[in-house]
Structure 1
Amino acid sequence: MTAAGKQGRLGVVFIHGFNSSARMWDPLISSLEQDEGTRGVTALPFSYDTRLWQVSPVRRIPGFDTVADSLKEFLDTDAEGFGRLVLVCHSQGGLVAQRALTRMLAEGRGRDLARIRRVILLACPNNGSELAMSLRRGLLSRNPQEHELRPLNQQITDAQRIVLRDLVNAREVTERTCPIPFSVYAGETDKVVPPASALSTFPDAAVLPGDHSGIVRSQRCYATVRRLLLAALTEPDATGAAGASDATETGAPTEESTTRTTSGPPPVSPGSFPDALDIVRVAERIPDMDDPDFRRQVVALMRRSLAPHAGFTAGYRAHPRDHLLEIVERCRTHALRGAALAAFRDAVTALRPDDAATAELRAMIKDPE
């Protein structure tokens, strides 16, 4: 892939957990690669040494600082050239990512972090794991990674404080700060990392089906990760340009990309489903779409329209683009997806009938056959 191609794509760094490997992500990555909607995504699995015991006298199990420095180099080398990155982390991998980011801030590299559009934590022991503590203390006493998985670990607490202050709640990009949203999820039946630890004090936190390992295999987890990746793809970069798709990977304009630039997204034929990103880019230009109450009105109208058949639900998201993607994705997976998408169009039309973006949305979405 050329450097220009990488700049127009989203690199997704997958970070596994304790006593696991990068292969744990294979099913999720395979689903992303087969999904037409995520064609602008490149998977970048990060691997590091983790195990219960190290029997070799000439090798050791690396501590978090060592693994974090390895991740920093991975971001600089393997992820070099990607203008957008998302970190998807499971369990201990989330702690490694937080350590790496705080170490980069300490080095004055806050501006280098601006390409990281989101960090997703799945069943991350932000407040430690108490499962089998007495047994772990005895059997894994020489494992430096296990030490940091214990509750109230000072280094973990310090890293999380910096993450919340200088990343999650940061207002500007400086050498020591960089606004990066963290989306944090607990496993519904996870006893290894209970919700109180996984969710901690992060503001954007929720629960997904599954136990500690099963959380990454649930359909809702895939749908959630997909939605967040699509949101990252639509975000403008420092120049104000949105993410490019495969059609423009080489930097050479195609017939389709030229048409979209001059005439907007093409209309969708009955029975087909448009690109979610195209819908969102048009819909977010409609007046008041940045108002949560307005978006709730849209969903309420859709629900009433579809109620005699199957109804409609879409989880609320604070960011307008995230919420719109959630609504469109719920249309795509709806039993009557054509009718659901038409209900979205009709709801927006009822609320903002005379806006130019509404007219563009009507031209994109046709009635189902």
Structure 2
Amino acid sequence: MTVAGRQGRLGVVFIHGFNSSAEMWDPLLSRMRPDEALRDVTALPFSYDTRLWQPSPLRQIPSFDTVADSLKEFLVTEAERFDHLMLVCHSQGGLVAQRSLTRMLVEGRGKDMARILRVVLLACPNNGSQLGMTLRRAVLPRNKQEQQLRPLDQQITDTQRTVLRDLVNAREVTERTCPIPFSVYAGETDNVVTPASALGAFPDASVLPGDHSGIVRTERCFATLRRLMLSALGSGPATGQDPASADPAAPAVQGPAPTALLTAPEPVEAGPGLAQAAPEPGQAIPKSPPVSLPSTVDIVRVAERVPDMDDPDFRRQVVALVRRSLAPRAGFSAGYRAHPRDHLLEIVERCQTHALPGVALAAFRDTVVALRPDDAATAELRAMIRDPE
């Protein structure tokens, strides 16, 4: 992970929640720093004033709109040097991010938002927080932020409607729309923001372990954010590549997509990298000799241009054929992901972490070559992934 102040390929803006601060992200950032796969990620913690009450008569607790405008300026100044951004928000921070993005749309800045590749909401009260609401009203009657944490707040409801219509479900970049995927997660044991409120009406929604504050410190949360960051990195040019020479857009899908997973196709013919003898039952699985393997992001960047790779049935067929090729060598599995790039990242990462990573990557390559032999992206994939030595 690059340090703040240096330009990386992806800037990740971390937005904290109610009565919190940017320091809440420190445990997560400490895990990101030594991760070599995230070397092109720069963390950009965003801070704003939030507290239970303001004792000074000369100051006030800012409203959501004020904080949203502050975030908007943060994206223009501190994050200006990044062509690709991702927003990671906890609790109230997710409401602030949504308000900021919708205000940008109102200003006709949809095209400026195209560099935001994903928004992640962790335990965000999309439908409000019920916990201690009566006490909160009595103790914090003038807290503008607390007021909008209440269920059925009209401004929050209107903001979410705009987010779903003009961001999540948008189809093109215009002055008033910009397709941005939202990944939304609830805390498994969170009683501050219940799963029903956190998940809201977002289509890409799931649950992570932890309570309201602990969700950001769990192993699965880090693994999830890491996967999403790698996915965002795969959207931009390769490391060291001039953006002007980045790969062209993926070609149009050619021919019908396969509808069956593995019933008709014959097993993929094993290439030289798959010709090793299978270990005897009970014998330890040999490790591949050290070999320089291409990065997961670089492989995905090429593989996602293969025709039909955006079709879920085609990707399932790839997984099934790789599994068949590797069955004598400890097998293979890769969980399904709805987003094509996320699914490809899952598949390739499973190859990279296989007991025989070189063999697994060769099986992935040979499967794609067998299914789409004549495509330019397939030829590039063949040249990129070498046979294990």
Equivalent in the alignment of 2:203? 203
Match of 1:223 in 2: 223
Q: Which residue of 2 aligns with 1:331?
A: 351
Partner of 2:42: 42
Larger Rg computed on CA atoms: 2
2:33 counterpart letter in structure 1: E
Q: Partner of 2:296 in structure 1? A: 276
**Which of structures 1 and 2 has the larger relative contact order (alpha carbons within 8 angstroms, sep 6+)?**
1
Compute the displacement of 1:353 (Å): 5.4
- Paired-residue identity, %: 77
Deviations 1:162-187 (A, max 9, x none): 11111111122222111111111112
Equivalent position of 2:139 in the other structure: 139
TM-score scaled by length of structure 2: 0.79
Give the C-alpha shift of residue 287 in structure 1: 3.2
Shift in CA distance, 310/15, structure 1 to aligned 2, threshold 3 Å: farther
Deviations 1:194-233 (A, max 9, x none): 2111111111112222221222122222222222222222
Whole-Å separation in 2 of the counterparts to 1:58 and 1:228:
42
Contact 1:303 1:313 in 2 (8 A): yes
Quick one: distance in 2 between partners of 1:322 and 1:125? 25
> For 1:315, which of 331, 335, 340 is the aligned residue?
335
Counterpart secondary structure, 2:344: helix
Give the Å deviation of 1:351. 3.7
Give the conservation status (yes or no) of the 8 Å contact 1:121–1:182: yes
- Whether the 8 Å contact between 1:269 and 1:366 is mirrored in structure 2 is no
Partners of 1:40 and 1:315 in 2: how far apart?
26
- 2:321 corresponds, among 285, 288, 301, to 301
| In structure 2, distance between residues paired with 1:140 and 1:106 | 31
Map of 2:155 onto structure 1: 155
Residue pairs, 1:1-369, within 5 angstroms = 6=7, 9-235=9-235, 242-245=236-239, 247=240, 270-305=290-325, 311-334=331-354, 337-338=357-358, 340-352=360-372, 357-358=377-378, 360-366=380-386
TM-score calculated relative to the size of structure 1: 0.83
Alpha-carbon distance, 1:311 to partner: 4.8
Q: CA 1:103–1:360 in structure 2 vs 1: closer, same or farther (change >3 Å)? A: closer
Q: How far 1:55 sits from its partner (Å)?
A: 2.1
Alignment RMSD (CA, Å): 2.9
| Greater per-residue helix proportion | 1
Which residue identity does 1:243 align to in structure 2?
A: P
1:296–1:358 distance in 2 versus 1, CA, 3 Å: same
- Shift, 1:314, TM fit: 2.8
- Whether contact under 8 Å (2:237, 2:243) holds in the other structure is no
Query: Residue type of the partner of 2:294?
Result: P
User: Match of 1:79, SS?
Assistant: coil
Whole-angstrom CA distance in 2 between matches of 1:215 and 1:309:
36
Check 1:76–1:289 CA distance in 2 against 1; reply closer, same or farther (3 A cut). Answer: same
Q: How many residues align?
A: 344
Query: Unmatched 5+ residue regions in structure 1?
Result: 236-241, 261-267
**1:7-36 CA distance string (max 9 Å, x none):** x72211110111111111123223333222
The runs of 4+ residues in structure 1 deviating greater than 6 Å are: none
The question of whether the paired residues in 2 share the 8 Å contact of 1:40 and 1:244 is answered with no
